[in-house]
Each structure stands twice: as structure tokens, then as C-alpha cells.
Structure 1
Amino acid sequence: MPRDMDDGPPAKRHGSGTEHTRDEDRQDEAPASPWRRRLLIGGGALAGVLLLAGGGWWWWQSRLWESTDDAFLEAHVTRVAPQVAGRVAELLVDDNQRVEAGQLLLRIDPRDFEVALQNARARHGSAAAQVAEAGAQVAVRRAAIGQAQANVVIAEADLENAETSLRRFRSVDPRAVTQQARDDAEAQSRSARARVEATRQEVAAAEAQAAAAEAQRRAAEAALREAEAAITNAELQLSYASIAAPVAGRIANRGVETGNYVTPGQALLSVVEPTVWVTANFKETQLRQIRPGQAVDVKVDAYPDPVLRGRVDGIQRGTGARFSVLPAQNATGNYVKITQRVPVKIVLDDDRVRDLPLSPGLSVVPSVRVRD
């Protein structure tokens, strides 16, 4: 009896708890409200419609645009190199400094070139003196020709006089003149004839000497022109000691310091011009609808806001691989077809470009609008 009395109440309590739990389960398993079911169905349908609309919009937009992430900014980069060898005496620019066209960048020690210029000028003075001397010799030789020609005239007059006397002696009665007088007349005639021949030879000799003097004068003038060219060359070499900016832009890739010894053709620094454009390497399958003049939206990775405006300027006549250092040789080895890329030049027509520090080499994403 005590055990039954002790076990009764707990059993009753256990039965009450079980009934309470079953009541809660029945409430949870009750059917959902019709409005809740309709709301869930409507939300799912709306989500499906939005998804289809977004997919359709994306598909339509993809038909309007051609885009690539294989694109970079480009600019004209002028590499500055010396034309003469020497030690850098003065460096006047620093990295990233803006320079104008014609602005002095650096100076090479000019002393060797100044000495060479002085020597060239000295040789020019000597050549000028030789030209003057040769000109004087030409004048002397021409005067000698005139004197020799005058002697010829005198000799010819003496010859004519002597021959006249000889004819007179021969025309008179031999008994009227002595044999001695006749012999003297003949001797004077032969002597006058010889003097004429001698003076004529003197004229020829004077003319030959004048020609030699003229040749010397021409040689001296040639030497003078050579000396003038040497002066011009020395002045040019001296001017090369001062290196100026060929274009306006900013200094980049500076690899020279004051005191460095530089040689001709050695790259010292670069000048990057401010005008930039985009080189976009589109796949060959994307070029079907790309034409010069089409509008382009350009997003710069470094400055995503704002999106810049541009236009297609031109399409390169040749793929990038064709102009590489080692172009592919498809006629040898195993051929594997690879989709080629063609560089497309895009110019930026947006005034906001001036407010952005755009540099060549920055990555961009251009989108060409191929349909209106």
C-alpha cells in the first residue's frame, strides 16, 4: 500500500505533461494561413521575373558593347641620350619634374670641345693666310705673262726691222754694199727671229706658272673651306655638350647623376609627354563590329571614378604576336590555334583627363559601343 500510494501521484503528473506536449504539437502542425502562402508564391514569382529581366538586360547590353581588360594607357616617351662622350658637369632636372621643349636638362664638361673649337679656328686663320698668299702669287704670275707678251711685241718689231734691212741689202747692187754689211744684216735678222721665239717661250712659261699659282690658290681655298667645316663641326660638338628637352613632358626613368661619365647613345632619362591614349588588345572575334569613330567608355583601374569618354581612332594592321620579338612560325612544329589579339587605339576626348595623373602603363577597361 505505501508503494502504491507513492507511485500514484507521479503517474498522474506524467500523464498531464504528455497531454500538454501533444497539444503544442497539434498547434504547430496546424495549416498555414492562405495569405502567407500567397505571399511566398508572389515573392518567388517576382524574384523570377527580376532575374529574367536582369538576364535579358545583361544580354541586350552585351550586344551593344565590346569590352576587354587587356588594355593599357600609352603615351609618347622620348628617351634622351648624349651625342658626345664626357663627364656630366651639371644636372638640372629631377624625377617627375615637368619640363618644356628646349629646356636645358644637363651639361657635359665642355672644356675638351672648347679646345677643339679654338684649334679649328686657328687652322682656319692659317688657311685664310694661305689663300691670300696664293692669290698674290696668281697676280704676280699674271703680271709676268703681260711682261712676256710685251717682250714678244718688241722682239717681233726688231725682227721686222732686221728683215727689212736684209731685204734692202739684197735688193741693191752687190757692188754698192760690202759683203760685211750684208752678212751683218743677215745675222741681225736671225738674231731677231731667235729673240721672238725666246719671248714666246717666256710667255708660255709665264702662263704655266700662272696656272700653277691658280691651282695653288684653289687648293688653299679648299683648305679654307675644310677649316670652316672643322669650325662648324667643333661648334656642333660643343653644342652637344648641352642637352635640352626635345619635347614637353615629365622626367621619368632618370639614370644619370652629376659626375657620371656618359657615352654616345647611352640612355640617360626619358621625357613622357602629357597626352595619353589607350591601347586595347581585343580578341580577333571582337573586331567584327568595331569601327573607327565609335564611342568608348574607359574605366581606369587606378581611378575608377569617373568613367572617361573616348573614341576608336584606329585598328592596327597586324596582330600583337606578328610584331613581337619572336613571332610565331606556324609552318614548323605542332600548330595549335590560339585566338589572336589585335591592338586598337582609343583616344580620350574627355576634359577630365587633365585632372587625373594618368601615366602610361596603367590598366584600363574600355567598352566600345558597337550598336546604337
Structure 2
Amino acid sequence: MTDAAVLDEDHPTASDQPLLRAHKRKRLILLLGVGLIAIAACWWIGSTLVAVDSESTGDAYTNVEVSQVTPLVGGPVKRVLVVDSQPIHAGDLLVELDDTDLRLAVDQAQAALGRARRQVRQVRENDANLAGQEDVREADQATARADLLRARADLDKAVLDEQRRQRLAGPGAISQEELSDSQTAVRVAQSAVSQAMARIAAARAGRASAGGARRANQALFDDATIETNPEVLAAQAGLNQARINLARAVIRAPVDGVIDQRRVAVGQRVQQGVPVMIVVPVENIYVEANFKEVQLSRVRLGQPVRITSDLYGSDVVYRGRVTGFAGGTGSAFAVLPAQNATGNWIKVVQRLPVRIQLNPAELKAHPLRVGLSMHAAIDISGAH
């Protein structure tokens, strides 16, 4: 039998079967080797010519700055008009509080404002009364001066009379009683002078007191009208605050978005400053991609990013841009930092969050929610 007969595949004999199987195995091994070489070549071309111009990570998630809905006044809840996952617009009514106490506060503030206006008018009218009192004290002072002049004149006359009687008493022309009367008259006149001087001092002090009281009263309304008086302004501010508090009994949405984490119910008494729900502005969602530190040497602000989500798969591609880098790695702000002073520290490649802004039109066409897994690839071909 010749070799040609042995290798004739069209008409193999039983003795030719082992040779044919070995030949087929060699062909399969050859094809497999060629395929592996082709795959390796494609991987090398992609890693050296394509991947070098991009940095990618699957450690990326959607995020957003949520808006807290916080009551600015406390009170019982009368109505709740939203539920979790409900889309809302800025200004929509979310919660309404019972405003009975707040309306009473407005009424009290209005009464306080009216009382302040009347008090200011009373103070202005008191100025005329105090001016009259000042004039009366001035007249008293003038009267006291006149009394002093008269008392001094009486004293001078009494002294002259006493001196004449002293001269007449020597030769016995008058009695001792008349001399004593003249001396008494001198002392009475001196006392009258002292009293007049005291009345002048009292009148002067009274006028000064009346002037001080008037100036103090004028200080309450000088350089101001009734409406611009500090007391009225303070009462008006109290009324404005009461009206603002009344308006705050109606809680509205601060931004467009979706309601989440609602923690309020009808009949509950909410406290000022305690959040009752959040609004997630889904139209402002961005991607926070955690790149390894060794990937960021050529990453710059403004570089384009190709993003896909696990929600829609690779068929939906978002095109974003790098807009910021975090101030530190995740481990740097952890409760237990990675650094260890005992010497048992093991170096681990750190990841730095990179903020990526999405295209609003693409985000509107394919909405996302916070916390979804994303894949981000930054084009660094233009970096130097």
C-alpha cells in the first residue's frame, strides 16, 4: 500500500483513521494558535494606541446636591400634599401647617404697632407740656429775683433805721424798746434776703430740671417722624416678622425635582429647623468617578468623558466633561484614616473622586437617579 492510499481522505480505510485524527488535531491547534496571536495583537494595539489616550473606571456613581425641606416655623401639620418619588416643581405646595397661633401673633404685633404709634404721639405732645413747665420755672426764677431785690431794699432801710435809733438812744431820745424793735427789724430783713436767695436757687434748679426733662423727651422724637421713630420701627419689624412666620406655615418646594425621604404626617407637630423631606433635583445629577491616583497625571478640567450606565447599558452613551476634583481621597476623610503610626501600615493605591458634568439634553432623554453605577472613560488625548 502506498502513502497516497494511506492519506486518501475521500476513501479512508480502517488503518488510516489514527493518522487522519492526528492531522485534524494539528490543524485545530494551528488555528487556535493563530487566533490567540490575533487576540494578543488586538489587545496590544488597543492598549498602546487607543487606551493610552483615555483613562477609565467602573468605580463611578451618580450624585447630586439634594435640597432639604425644613420648616422655618414650628406647628402642627394640617396637610401633606406629596409622597415619595413624586416629581414636583419649584414653588409647589408640599406641607401646610395649622396657622392659628401664627395669626394670633400677627394680631398681637398689629396691636403693638398701634400702641407704639400712640406712645410716640404722646411723647410729642408732652413736649408742649414740658415747655410750659420750663416757662413756669423761669417765671418763678424772675419772681424770686424781684423778691430778693425787695428784701435787700427792706434790709437797707432796716439797717438805716437801726443806725438812727442807735444814735438817738445815747442821749435818751428814744426808749430801749424802740431800739430793740429796730434791731429786730434788721434781723427780719436779713432773713427775708436769705429766703429770697434760696427761692432763686430753687427756681434755677427747677428750671434746669424742666429743661432737662424736655430735652430728654425731645430725644425720643427728634430727627424722626412718627413712622420713622425707633419704637414704631421696632413694632413694625415685629409685625413684619409675624407676617413672614404666617407665610412660612405653607412649605413649598425650593427646586424642581423628586420627593424622597418624607418624614412628616398629618397631625404631627414639626419643629423649626428639623428636615421633613428632601427634594432630589434629578436634572442636575452628575457623576462622581473614583479614579486611581496613578490614572490622574494627565486628567485636566474640561476634558470630554464618555459615560455609560448599568441602567441603560452600552447602547446609551452620555457625553460629559470633567468639572472638578475632590479635595482629598475617600480614605483621607474616613473615620479611621489609613495612616498607622505603629509601623503596620500597608500602602494601598488611593482613589480620588472626579466630578463629571453630564449633558442636560442627554440626561433629559435618559433620566438617571442618585447612586446608580456608571462607567466613565476620560479622553486625555489633548493633555500634555
Report TM bin, short chain. 0.7 to 0.9
Partner of 1:264: 272
Is 1:241 matched with 2:288? no
More divergent stretch after superposition (179-188 vs 101-110): 179-188
1:362 aligned residue: 372
Instruction: Tell me what 1:323 maps to.
Output: 333
Size of the aligned set, in residue pairs, is 349
* Counterpart in the other structure of 2:317: 307
**Which residue, 60, 63, 74 being the options, matches 1:85?**
74
Matched residue SS, 1:334: coil
Alignment of 1:1-372 (within 5 A): 24-25=13-14, 47=35, 50-60=38-48, 61-157=50-146, 159-160=148-149, 163=152, 191=192, 194-195=195-196, 197-208=198-209, 211-212=212-213, 227-273=235-281, 274-304=283-313, 305-332=315-342, 334-349=344-359, 351-371=361-381
Gaps of 5+ in 1: 1-21
**Contact 2:262 2:276 survives alignment (8 Å):** yes
Distance across 1 between alignment mates of 2:150 and 2:344: 110
Name the amino acid aligned to 2:55. E
**Superposition deviation, residue 281 in structure 1:** 0.8
The one-letter amino acid of 1:110's match is: D
Q: What is the deviation of 1:43? A: 5.4
C-alpha distance in 1 between matches for 2:289 and 2:371: 12
Percent of residue pairs bearing the same amino acid type: 31
Deviations 1:163-219 (A, max 9, x none): 5687699899969xx999999899678646744641441342254256457657878
Aligned to 1:10: none
Q: How far off is 1:368 after superposition? A: 1.1
After TM superposition, the score normalised by the length of structure 1 is 0.76
* Cα 1:327/1:236, change in 2 over 3 Å: farther
User: 1:41–1:121: structure 2 CA closer, same or farther, 3 Å change rule?
Assistant: closer
In structure 2, the CA distance between the partners of 1:66 and 1:50, relative to structure 1 (3 Å rule), is same
Deviation for aligned residue 1:23: 8.3
Distance change in 2, residues 1:350/1:275 (3 Å): closer
TM-score (norm 2): 0.74
Structure 2: where are the runs of 5+ without partners?
1-10, 166-177, 222-228
Across the aligned residues of Structure 1 and Structure 2, the Cα RMSD in angstroms comes to 4.2
Report the 3-state secondary structure (helix = DSSP H, G, I; strand = E; otherwise coil) of the residue aligned with 1:307. strand
